[in-house]
């Protein structure tokens, strides 16, 4: 058995904050969280982090790419490059996220994802997030309209047979979407409403079949109106609904971030990056799913019409932004970086620094820069 002791840690976990604490892990599982002043067990490896923050490893459920690659690229190294970049952001698990593409290209992407899952070198892939192709053409955003189609559960079954599909984003108002929702839930796949013009009534019809999640909240969805609260209203009003949030201060202004964290139960907020291939690289010309993208001052927009085309956000920056904007205790905010994501996917042992949980942990300094990252109790970045 191999063991790890991290000492002099500012441990921040859901509803828990301990100064000068220690964490003992054995064979990749946390065995003890030790309060300051208590005796420390012997370990094969002892790391003194000198008062820095120790948080659960981040979990990014919506991320298209980074470092010049996207998850749907035909190049076999794409997922590996993205996964190794995510580690540097403190992300220990993620869902590579696809785009509105033909089935053969989606299938090829999932083959590459599965090849990486068998031989991981960076962050863990816990399943794929299919964003599209069953979305509303009036809310297309940076997706390709040429490949839109109606919800097709047989297509999902074929893709899921290649590599695990964890989440599907689609518009609940499209033809056949309500029974499609029920089939996803029965298959253990999380349904998520996005790129949608749905009314609250249409969303409730989906809810009756298990839909309780909104993709990149506020972006490409029905706006809040006093005669029809739409999907923005649904996300704020319904306490059962999970909402993804891109907290780069571009997709959501600081006031909207503050509002969401004020009115939503914090255990229903999911920080995501929605990062595209330019993440980690300078401003310039890039692409998203074959569509030309220009990145200027960190904002990625379609060259054709200026629509936002994913983000260049890194996860630790999202955490920092939310902490600065909301002023909420970090032991509450870490629910939105890790534990909520695990709960959303039904994963029981991720997202906390607590006995019995997987020893996926990230060390941050006071500026939220990533200093070290541990996967299964093994240091993968420092």
- Given a contact cutoff of 8 angstroms between Cβ atoms, the answer to whether 351 and 358 are in contact is no
Q: Are residues 158 and 107 in contact, defined by beta-carbon separation less than 8 angstroms?
A: yes
Place of tokens 């780069």: 248
143 is written with which tokens?
């997706």
| Residue 347: other Cβ atoms inside 10 A | 17
Please, are residues 128 and 78 in contact by the beta-carbon 8 Å criterion?
A: no
Q: In the chain, what is the greatest distance between 2 CA atoms, to the nearest angstrom? A: 64
Distances from the Cα of 89 to the Cαs of 47, 265, 288, in angstroms?
20, 26, 21
> In angstroms, rounded to a whole number, what is the distance separating the alpha carbons of residues 200 and 180?
18
Sign for the pseudo-dihedral over CA of 322, 53, 311, 199: negative
Sheet of 128-131: strand order equals 128-131, 165-170, 190-193, 213-214, 242-246, 269-272
Residue 209's CB is within 10 A of a number of other CB atoms, namely 18
- Is 376 annotated as catalytic? no
DSSP state of 335: I
- Burial (0-12, 13-18, 19+ Cβ within 10 Å), 186: exposed
Catalytic choice (44, 274, 360, 365): 274
In 3D, which of 357, 363, 372 has the Cα closest to residue 29? 357
Tell me the C-alpha distance between 169 and 140, whole Å: 12
Residues in the chain: 382
DSSP 28: T
Distance, in Å, from the CA atom of 11 to the CA atom of 22, rounded to the nearest integer, reads 8
- Distance (Å, whole) CA 203 – CA 210: 10
Q: Which residues are marked as active site?
A: 274
């Amino acid at each position: 058995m191999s063991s790890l002791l991290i000492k002099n840690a500012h441990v921040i976990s859901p509803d828990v904050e301990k100064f000068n604490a220690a964490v003992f892990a054995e064979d990749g599982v946390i065995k003890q969280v030790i309060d300051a002043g208590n005796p420390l067990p012997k370990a094969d490896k002892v790391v003194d982090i000198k008062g820095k923050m120790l948080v659960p490893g981040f979990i990014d459920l919506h991320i298209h790419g980074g470092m010049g690659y996207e998850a749907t690229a035909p190049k076999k190294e794409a997922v590996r490059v993205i996964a190794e970049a995510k580690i540097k952001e403190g992300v220990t698990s993620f869902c590579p996220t696809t785009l509105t593409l033909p089935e053969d290209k989606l299938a090829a992407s999932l083959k590459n994802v599965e090849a990486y899952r068998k031989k991981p070198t960076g962050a863990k892939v816990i399943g794929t997030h299919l964003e599209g192709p069953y979305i509303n053409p009036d809310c297309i955003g940076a997706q390709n309209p040429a490949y839109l189609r109606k919800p097709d559960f047989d297509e999902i079954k074929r893709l899921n047979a290649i590599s695990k599909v964890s989440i599907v984003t689609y518009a609940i108002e499209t033809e056949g979407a309500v029974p499609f929702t029920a089939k996803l839930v029965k298959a253990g796949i999380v349904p998520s409403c996005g790129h949608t013009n749905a009314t609250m009534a249409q969303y409730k019809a989906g809810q009756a079949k298990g839909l309780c999640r909104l993709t990149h909240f506020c972006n490409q969805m029905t706006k809040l109106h006093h005669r029809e609260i739409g999907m923005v209203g649904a996300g704020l009003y319904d306490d059962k609904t999970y909402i993804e949030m891109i907290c780069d201060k571009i997709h959501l202004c600081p006031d909207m971030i503050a509002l969401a964290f004020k009115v939503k139960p914090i255990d229903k907020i999911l920080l995501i990056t929605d990062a595209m291939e330019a993440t980690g690289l300078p401003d310039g010309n890039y692409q998203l799913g074959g569509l030309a993208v220009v990145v200027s001052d960190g904002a990625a927009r379609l060259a054709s019409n200026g629509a936002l085309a994913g983000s260049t956000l890194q996860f630790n920056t999202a955490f920092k932004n939310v902490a600065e904007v909301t002023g909420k205790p970090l032991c509450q905010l870490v629910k939105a970086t890790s534990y909520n994501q695990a709960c959303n996917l039904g994963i029981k042992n991720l997202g906390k620094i607590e006995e019995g949980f997987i020893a996926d942990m990230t060390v941050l300094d006071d500026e939220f820069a990533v200093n070290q990252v541990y996967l299964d109790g093994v240091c993968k970045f420092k």
